[in-house]
Amino acid sequence: MQDKKILFVCLGNICRSPAAEAITKKYLTDENLQDKIFVDSAGTAGYHIGQTADPRMIKHASARGYTLDHIARKFSAAKDFPEFDYIITMDNQNFEDIKSLDHINKFSNKIFKMADFCRNIKIEEVPDPYYEGAAGFENVLDILEDGCKGIIEKLKNNALN
């Protein structure tokens, strides 16, 4: 497996993308691959910069064994496009927002949708759970577990490109 850097992106960087980060880190650690793949997350919006993850997501994720310790930050086109190999967006708006920051399509081969890595759950995008109840957070975690497993399988086969 090649050394790579993954950045997960959602809107606020307090629910979906820090959960994807924590799930991927746990799966990598379980396979002793944590030193091969650097994982981070960011938001397209800056509403929650400097904050820990949403307490609802922390609660639902920790019940499944994931530790959310990320501090929210905003996506930086200047730094993140060159630094990361895979920029994996949660919903279609996040995807379009990141694409629109790549003015001359220099980094378009790095920009992905999480839904495309899901192998069991067939969805178009990872829905925003912010205004949802407990079931919304559980649904997001089900989707992210499926997608993060798909990402790691592709990385192990050097087939993520």
Please confirm, yes or no, whether 73 is among the known catalytic residues.
Answer: no
Q: Which of residues 22-81 bind ligand 4NP (CB under 6 A)?
A: 47
Q: Which of residues 117-146 bind ligand 4NP (CB under 6 A)?
A: 128, 130
Please confirm, yes or no, whether 3 is among the known catalytic residues.
Answer: no
- Of the candidates 40, 54, 91, 128, the residue annotated as catalytic is 128
Q: Which residue is nearest to ligand 4NP (CB)?
A: 12
| Integer CA distances (angstroms), 136 to 29, 39, 65, 74, 126, in order | 27, 24, 18, 24, 10
Which of 14/115 has CB closer to ligand 4NP? Answer: 14
Size of the site for ligand 4NP (CB under 6 A): 10
Name the minimum Å distance from CB 107 to ligand 4NP: 21
Q: Does 13 bind ligand 4NP (CB under 6 A)?
A: yes
Name the minimum Å distance from CB 10 to ligand 4NP: 3
Interface with ligand 4NP by CB under 6 A: which range of 9-17, 22-30, 98-106, 142-150? 9-17
Chain centroid to Cα 149, Å, comes to 12
* Residue tagged 């992210």 (tokens): 144
| Separation of alpha carbons 87 and 98, rounded Å | 9
Name the minimum Å distance from CB 126 to ligand 4NP: 8
Please confirm, yes or no, whether 10 is among the known catalytic residues.
Answer: yes
Binding site for ligand 4NP (CB under 6 A): 10-16, 47, 128, 130
- Report, as residue numbers or ranges, the catalytic residues: 10, 16, 128
